Structure formats: C-alpha cells, structure tokens
Amino acid sequence: MEEKTTALNAQESETAENQQVTEPVAEQSEAAQNEDQAQEILDEKTDLSEKSLNEILSLFEKMIEKGDQQALYKFAEPIKAAFYKVLRKEKIASGAFVEIGQADTQPNPFEDVEKAFKDLYARYKVSRSNFNQEMQAKKEENLTQKLGIIEAINNLLEKAEDMNHTLPTFRELQAKWKSIGSVPQEKARQVWDQYNRTMEKFYDFLKINKEFRDLDFKKNYEAKVELCMKAEKLVDDKDAVKAFEELQKLHEEWKELGPVSKDKREEIWLRFKEATSKINKRHQEYFTNIKDEHKANLKAKNELCALAEEVVAALEKVEPGQWNSLTKRIGELQEKWKKIGFASKKDNQKVYVRFRTACDKFYQAKRQYYADFKSLMQENLNKKLDLCQQAEKIKDSQDWKKTTDQLINLQNVWKTIGPVARKQSEAVWKRFRAACDEFFTNKAKHFGSEDEKFDENLRAKKALIEEIENYQSQGAESDKAALEEFINKWNSVGFVPFKEKEALQKAYDEALNKHFEAIRDVDAEKKLGRIRRLITDAKTSGRGDRGIRLEREKLLNKFHKLETDIATLENNMGFFAKSANADKLIEEIKQKIEAGRQELKSLEQKIKMIDKEF
C-alpha cells in the first residue's frame, strides 16, 4: 500500500508536468521524408521565374503524377505564382498583354498553355481534397485504435495478473500508442487526457516492487536531464525558429517518459520549463520583429512605387536630354528595391506588381521614344546629305557674292536640322564642311589683294584729316556744306588696317569738332558711317548684300511711317480753334513737323546712298 501511495503521488506530479505539453504533431518525419523525395523534381532554391511556361507546366505535371501530397502542398502555390508571373512577363514581351479594364480584342497566343495549367491545378485541388478526406479517415481510425489501447490498459488493471505478464503487455501497449499517428484535432486533447489518467492509474495500482520502481524513476530522471541539457543548448541557438521546432520534439519525448522520484520531480520540471520559456520568448520576439520588419519593408517599397510612378507621370513632358537621367533614376530605385527585404505574404506580391508595372511603363515609353528618335535621325541624315550635295555643286563657283549667300543659307539650314546617329554624324559634317571650306579658301585667295587697298584707304583718310584741320571758316552755310562734304568723303573711303582704326577715328573726330562742333550731328554721322560700312563690306567681302538690303527695308519703312505721322499732324492743325492756348499747341506741332521733315531728309539721304551703290 505504501508503494501504491508513493507511485500515485509521483504520478500526480507527473500529470501536472504532462498537462503543460501539447499533443505531438503527426507525420513530421513522414513530411520530412516526402520533402526529401521532392528534391528529385524541384529544389527549393530553384528560380522558377527563370523557367519557361512549358518547363513550369512539365514540372508541375510530374509532381502531380508522382502523387506526393506533402510536396505538392508545399510547392503548388509557389509554382502557380511563378507560372502567372512568367506568363505576364511573356505577354508583355510579345505585346499580347492587356491592361485591366481594356477590351481584349487580340487573339491570345498563350491560351492553350494557360488552359493546360488551369487543368493541372484543378487536378491538384481534387487530389488534395481526396487526400484530406483520406487523412481525416485515417485520424478517425487512429482515434479508434488509441481508445482501444486505453481500454486494454484498463483491462490489465482489472485482471491484476502477475507482474511478469502485466508489465511486458503494458510496454507493448505503450509502444503501440507511440506508433499510431495523429487523431482529429477536436478529440486530441480529450483522448490524451484519458490516456494520461489511465497511465496514472496503472502506476498507482500496479504491484511493482520498490527496487523496480526506483530503477524506473532513475532511468526516467536521466532521460529528462538529457532533455533539459538539449533544451538549454537550444537557448543559445541563433536560429530561433529552428530552436522552437527542435523544442517541440523534445516536449514530445518528455511526454513519453514516465515519472521521476518525488524529491526531484519539481526540480527537473522547473529546469525544463525555464529553458522552454526562454526559447518560446525568443521565438515570439523573432516573429514580432519579423512583423515590424515586414511593415517597414512595405512602407519603404510603397515609397519607391510612388517615386517610380512620379517618373512615369513626368514622361508626358520629358525633354530628349532627360532620358538618361530618368533611366538612371529608375535604375537607382530598382537597386534600392533589391536591398529591401520582404513584406508580409499578402502584401509583398501586390506591392511588387505595383512597382513592376511602373518600371515596365517607363521602359516601354523609352523604347518607343528611341524607336521614333532613330527614325527621326535617319530623316535628319537624309536632309544633311542633300545639303552636302548642294554645297558640292557650287563649291567651285567664282560668283563670290551669290555663292557666299547660298553657302551661308545652307549653313543656317544645317543648324536647324536635328542630330543624326553618332557613327554617321562626324562623317557627314566633314563632307559638308569640306565643300564649304573649299569655296571660302578659293575666295580668300581671290580677295587676298584687298589688304593693299586697306593701306591706300589709310593714306586717303589721313589726307582728309589734314584737309579738315587746315579748313578756314567761310560762314554758317559754307561750313555746313563743307561738313557734309567731309563726312561723305570720309564715309566713301573703305576699310583701313584694324590696328589703325581707333586712332584714325579719334583724329577725325577731333578735327571735325575743332571747326564744326556747333553744327555737327555725331549720331547722324555714325548712322551714315554704319550704312557706308555695310555697303563697303557687302562689296568687298563677297558675303552678299543681304544685310544692306535689310537695312534699306528698315529705313524705307521708317520713312513711310514718318511721312504718315507728318501728314496726320498737318491735318490735325486745322481742327484747333483760334485761341491763346490753341496757338501754343499749334506752335508745338509745327516744331514736331519741322523735326520730322529734317529726319525725312536724313532717311532719304541714307536710302539714296544705298540705292546709288546697289
């Protein structure tokens, strides 16, 4: 009776230990074995996104035909995700992709392979459903067997046969219990409690001698110490998930062990419990950190999506020179994306599709731009080749003035034409420039003798300055006529050497100011001088008379406008009444009319100067 009481007390404490351990997860070893077999077909490190649609289809079909439900359950969804990812990429590449919301009027070249995959996936779902039904039936059968073992142990207690027969039978029932798989989840706790109570009753009522019991307690204690050491070692394992999984296996082993002596029972359980708590805490912290990390990663990825979408939105107003910087920007965003970890499973695919869509839109627009740009460059090349041919036709001409204008016009047209391909740009430019250079080289040789004229003009202007300095005043009218004659002579003389120009002009101004400062209109002289220089330049440089013609047109327009203004002022004078204020106003208008007529004379003089020379 004392032995029964001791065993009962020991078993009651042991029950408290076992109640803190969950029912073992069934088929762990079987699942691991199936995963190993799956490696023959698909490795976890295999990058399915790099395979073709037919390769993924073939791989999936082999797995279904093999019938390995554990491997299928693990790999079916990744295969499905990879298939549709590759399908979408190939649709985009072939131009068959249709945005959501758009009518798909184009034939779908991927219809057969997509249908084949859907059929395979339907086969997988049917087989998975059948497998689950079979597993449920198996669990019901396991439940029946375990209930039978509990009943068999109870029968052993009721028969109370001798220990030589009872104990081996009890050990056989224990071994059989361990070999049976899992039961329905809703019955797992109940059947385990029944088994545990039955075990307690067995240890309480089995007439086992003290020596055997102590030996059994010692054996159990040593086994539990070893489990404690294994658990304590897992506390320092860097892989919190792996440590947690290993801990579950240790708990399964702990539950299968019998009780220990009463004086060591609480001590050994607390030791195991402490290690368990530490591992569980690390496991919980790991997933908390993972969750926070997923949130941070999702936020960072959404920010990159927004930045990529901003780049795409700006493409409507993009300048040709901005494509390189925008491409670099998209590349930088993609590099940052690669460095960001995963978001949660439900968010990661969505945010990836958002980012990928923005990038695809950018590169599609870039490809279209460069396709159009290539066509434009070919058009520009054809235009420049045409200019080369025109320049080559006139490069040997000796009509210096006309040909100069033609080549300058061709050069101006050249500047308005856009770029051509880099490998052709230099060659076509050299061809055009060679034709122009040949003409202007010939022209420079022809007009090389003009330098002698500059020296002759210098001597003429020095003589005129000397004549001005020696002039003696002969009255206001004579001085005015003399001034006009000196100015006309000065302007009629051509260019002088550039280094003499400034000193000569200064001497000329000083000579005129000495005798005619009171009546001299410097501004008018400058304008007449400017026109004279335009005329001389057009006649001697061979660059054409375009500039002087534009100047004449501008002067003529100004002349006609001034004539109209004078006529308007003369007409308005007739509307003023005879009064003191009206007389004052009329006098002001007369002064404006007189000033206008003087300006008309000046304009007329300039126009006549141009018409005389051209």
pLDDT band at 521 (very low <50, low <70, confident <90, very high): low
Separation between Cα atoms, residue 612 and residue 589, nearest integer Å: 34
Evaluate whether 85 touches 49 at the Cβ level (below 8 Å).
yes
Which three-class secondary structure state does DSSP give residue 58?
helix
pLDDT of residue 579 exceeding 80, the answer is no
* Helix residue ranges, H only, 314-421: 323-339, 345-394, 400-416
Q: Which residue has 């402490």 as its token pair?
A: 274
Mean pLDDT calculated for residue range 34-40: 46
pTM (two decimals):
0.34
Question: Using one digit for the tens of pLDDT, what is the confidence trace for 181-196?
Answer: 888 888 888 888 888 8
Across 297-309, b (16+ Cβ under 10 Å) vs e yields: bbebbbebbebbb
Q: Which of 85, 194, 109 minimizes the C-alpha distance to 146?
A: 194
pLDDT band at 518 (very low <50, low <70, confident <90, very high): low
Separation between Cα atoms, residue 181 and residue 11, nearest integer Å: 25
- Tell me the two tokens of residue 215: 């030996």
Residue type at position 240 = A
Mean pLDDT calculated for residue range 191-209: 75
pLDDT band at 161 (very low <50, low <70, confident <90, very high): low
Q: Which of 372, 370, 350 minimizes the C-alpha distance to 362?
A: 370
Across 437-472, b (16+ Cβ under 10 Å) vs e yields: eebbebbeeeeeeeeeebeebbebbeebbeebeebe
Q: Check residue 50 and report its DSSP letter.
A: G
Q: Which residue has the higher pLDDT, 39 or 363?
A: 363
Question: Mean pLDDT across the chain, nearest whole number?
Answer: 76
Give the torsion through C-alpha atoms of 536, 539, 544, 547, to 10 deg: 20
Mean pLDDT calculated for residue range 317-336: 84
Separation between Cα atoms, residue 609 and residue 607, nearest integer Å: 5
Q: What is the pLDDT of residue 277?
A: 92
Please give the distance of CA 469 from its chain centroid, rounded to a whole number.
78
Q: Which residue has the higher pLDDT, 568 or 221?
A: 221
pLDDT of residue 143 exceeding 80, the answer is yes
Q: What is the pLDDT of residue 285?
A: 82
Q: What is the pLDDT of residue 464?
A: 81
- Tell me the two tokens of residue 3: 């032995």
Q: How far is CA 305 from CA 92, 93, 194, 298, in A?
A: 20, 22, 57, 10
Mean pLDDT calculated for residue range 320-329: 82
For 21-25, 218-222, 292-296, 549-553, which range has the lowest pLDDT when averaged over its residues? 21-25
The DSSP-derived string for 484-520 is: HHHHHHHHHS----HHHHHHHHHHHHHHHHHHHTTT-
Which three-class secondary structure state does DSSP give residue 67?
coil
Q: What is the pLDDT of residue 458?
A: 81
For 43-47, 283-287, 512-516, which range has the lowest pLDDT when averaged over its residues? 43-47
pLDDT of residue 83 exceeding 80, the answer is yes
Which three-class secondary structure state does DSSP give residue 593?
helix
Q: What is the pLDDT of residue 11?
A: 38
Other beta carbons within 10 Å of 44: 10
Please give the distance of CA 587 from its chain centroid, rounded to a whole number.
76
Task: Compute the residue count for the chain.
Answer: 614
Across 344-364, b (16+ Cβ under 10 Å) vs e yields: eeebbeebbebbbbbbebbee
Residue type at position 588 = E
- Tell me the two tokens of residue 586: 């009329």
Which three-class secondary structure state does DSSP give residue 613?
helix
- Tell me the two tokens of residue 340: 């960001």
209-213, 237-241, 548-552, 586-590: which has the highest mean pLDDT?
A: 237-241
The DSSP-derived string for 519-584 is: T--HHHHHHHHHHHHHHHHHHHH-S-SHHHHHHHHHHHHHHHHHHHHHHHHHHHHTTS-SSHHHHH
Q: How far is CA 53 from CA 81, 82, 114, 116, in A?
A: 12, 9, 9, 10
Q: State residue 181 phi and psi, 5-degree precision.
A: -75, -165
Q: Which of 423, 310, 421, 325 minimizes the C-alpha distance to 366?
A: 325
pLDDT band at 295 (very low <50, low <70, confident <90, very high): confident
- Tell me the two tokens of residue 454: 């500059």
pLDDT of residue 36 exceeding 90, the answer is no
Separation between Cα atoms, residue 59 and residue 51, nearest integer Å: 10
Mean pLDDT calculated for residue range 27-55: 58
Separation between Cα atoms, residue 609 and residue 491, nearest integer Å: 10
pLDDT of residue 97 exceeding 70, the answer is no
Q: What is the pLDDT of residue 43?
A: 58
Helix axes 476-492, 450-469, angle to 10 degrees: 170
pLDDT band at 5 (very low <50, low <70, confident <90, very high): very low
